[in-house]
């Protein structure tokens, strides 16, 4: 791929509306994005990462315990946060982004789940995504983590990746080497002719993959899948070990 001028996204969406059922009993008291890891709410790790690379505006969708999440976010200064209210109906990962598109502009934007967490390598991974994203070739560039070295992850992986970075989704009974680390740069082109109402983002990823426009970037660092109370403890231990 030829060298590209870096177009750093200034807008982002952070999905924070999920029910967090696997995080019980923590999520009986607070929404999953407010569960703390090493004393810091999960959603603040995501928003701080975005702030670190110069994102100016982030949309956060809310549903479960929305008032608590809204109150927490209102205390932040940067990035500027706009709420996408899904109190009446949870829209799914794809429908949630479509609902917020009016706030995301015409340029590619960052996408993150509120519970994605990683220990950085040499260079910030969001910066690496921006450096690698080529809108002429890609509708989506996903951050990927090796399944064998990720913390708190015990599934069969999500994607295999070719030498040019194109992705293929895992067939049902196979095992593939990479898990989707729930961070990406998405082009507005990905959302052309989307389904109506509630739907998962994977529908659009699969369509982009069929067109050769779904690409991946291997994470530099360690990804932590914080989906259960046990995974919180594992993530905290990893963070302590990395700081030693």
User: Sorting pLDDT into bands at 50, 70 and 90, what band is 82?
Assistant: very high
The pTM of the full predicted model, rounded to 2 decimals, is: 0.94
Do 166 and 145 touch, CB atoms closer than 8 A?
no
User: 118-135 pLDDT, tens per residue?
Assistant: 999 999 999 999 999 999
User: 9-53 pLDDT, tens per residue?
Assistant: 999 999 999 888 888 888 888 899 999 999 999 999 999 999 999
In this structure, is the dihedral angle defined by the CA atoms of residues 128, 94, 54 and 73, taken in order, positive or negative? negative
User: Sorting pLDDT into bands at 50, 70 and 90, what band is 235?
Assistant: very high
Q: How many CA atoms lie within 13 A of 27 on its CB side?
A: 22
Q: What's the whole-number mean pLDDT along residues 77-100?
A: 95
Do 239 and 119 touch, CB atoms closer than 8 A?
yes
Pairwise CA distance, residues 26 & 230, whole Å: 11
What is the structure's pLDDT at 2?
45
In the chain, what are the helix, strand and coil shares in percent, each to the nearest 5? Answer: 30, 25, 40
Domains and CATH numbers, the chain: 11-243 (3.90.550.10)
Alpha-carbon distances, residue 93 vs 17, 45, 73, 215, 236 (angstroms) = 9, 20, 20, 19, 27
User: 199-231 pLDDT, tens per residue?
Assistant: 999 999 999 999 999 999 999 999 998 888 898
Do 32 and 40 touch, CB atoms closer than 8 A?
no
What is the structure's pLDDT at 168?
95
Please tell me what DSSP assigns to residue 166. Answer: B
User: Sorting pLDDT into bands at 50, 70 and 90, what band is 5?
Assistant: low
């Amino acid at each position: 791929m030829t060298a590209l001028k870096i177009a750093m996204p200034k807008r982002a969406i952070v999905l924070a509306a999920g029910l967090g059922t696997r995080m019980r009993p923590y999520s009986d008291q607070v929404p999953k994005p407010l569960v703390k890891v090493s004393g810091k709410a999960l959603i603040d790790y995501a928003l701080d990462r975005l702030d670190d690379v110069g994102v100016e505006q982030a949309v956060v969708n809310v549903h479960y315990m929305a008032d608590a999440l809204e109150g927490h976010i209102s205390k932040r200064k940067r990035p500027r946060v706009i709420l996408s209210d899904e109190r009446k109906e949870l829209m799914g990962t794809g429908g949630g982004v479509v609902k917020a598109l009016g706030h995301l502009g015409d340029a590619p934007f960052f996408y993150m789940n509120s519970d994605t967490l990683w220990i950085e390598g040499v260079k910030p991974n969001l910066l690496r995504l921006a450096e690698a994203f080529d809108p002429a070739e890609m509708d989506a560039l996903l951050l990927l983590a090796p399944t064998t070295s990720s913390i708190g992850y015990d599934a069969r992986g999500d994607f295999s990746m070719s030498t040019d970075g194109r992705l293929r989704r895992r067939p049902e009974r196979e095992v593939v080497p990479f898990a989707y680390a729930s961070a990406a740069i998405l082009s507005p082109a990905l959302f052309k002719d989307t389904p109506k109402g509630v739907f998962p983002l994977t529908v659009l990823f699969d369509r982009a993959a069929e067109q050769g426009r779904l690409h991946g970037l291997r994470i530099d660092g360690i990804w932590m899948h914080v989906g259960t109370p046990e995974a919180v403890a594992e993530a905290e231990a990893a963070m302590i070990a990395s700081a030693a």
